[in-house]
Amino acid sequence: MKEVQLTIDGISVKVPEGTTILEAARKVGIKIPTLCYLNGVGLKHIKHDVGACRVCVVEVQGKNDLLSSCNTLVEEGMVVYTHTPRVLSTRKLNLELMLSDHHLDCPTCPKNGVCELQSLCAELTIRSIRPKGERKTYEIDCSSPSIVRNPNKCIVCQRCITACKVLQTVDVLELYGNGRSEEHTSELQSPCNLVCRLLLEKKKK
């Protein structure tokens, strides 16, 4: 397979053609944060690179716009910057926009302490959020026999949709309205909840 040479943060990297910027960066130990990328949670066989969260953006020399590193393929001679002031401020802004419509009840959340969103907020030093308006409250869905779905925790990363479609081949989730996931059957089960912050396994009585 043809190899591509590029530079990331001053480090020369050689990777196979078809590699993403994110994968190339990880090869040389450069950390780029992600929220919607499934590879980062141990599911390497699942392709989910929709670039929905926009926290993995990087700056590429010669490009006016920042690019999502999870779905942008490397090119010969490409020069990438992963932590410029522009990149960091954009990541922080994108995360703040997610949080502006997110119910911030972390202390009582079952995923408190093991939450990727929480960890990334700490990494980007986000300590308070000014809501863009009144936060909408969605009804918690307990209709599934195995999963409790809390749309108030959704950040529209779409990982649950991909996991259910690929891992369970049930394809029971879809986006609706403002982009939150909606279940349209009751067949939803683990491991969909393992990749999602709004799905919780029901406790057995």
Distance CA 36, CA 134 (A): 25
The structure's pTM equals 0.77
Residue pLDDT, tens place only, 22-38 = 999 999 999 999 888 77
| pLDDT tens-digit series, residues 47-71 | 556 677 899 999 999 999 999 999 8
Indicate if the pLDDT at residue 42 is higher than 50: no
Q: What is the pLDDT of residues 128-176, one digit of tens each?
A: 776 566 677 888 888 777 777 788 888 888 777 777 777 666 555 666 5
Angle between helices 85-99 and 116-123 (to 10 degrees): 140
Q: Locate 47 and state its tokens.
A: 């392709």
pLDDT band at 193 (very low <50, low <70, confident <90, very high): low
| Structural domains of the chain sorted by starting position, each given as residue range(s) with its CATH number in brackets | 3-85 (3.10.20.740), 138-205 (3.30.70.20)
Tokens, residue 98: 């997610």
Q: Which residue has the higher pLDDT, 203 or 126?
A: 126
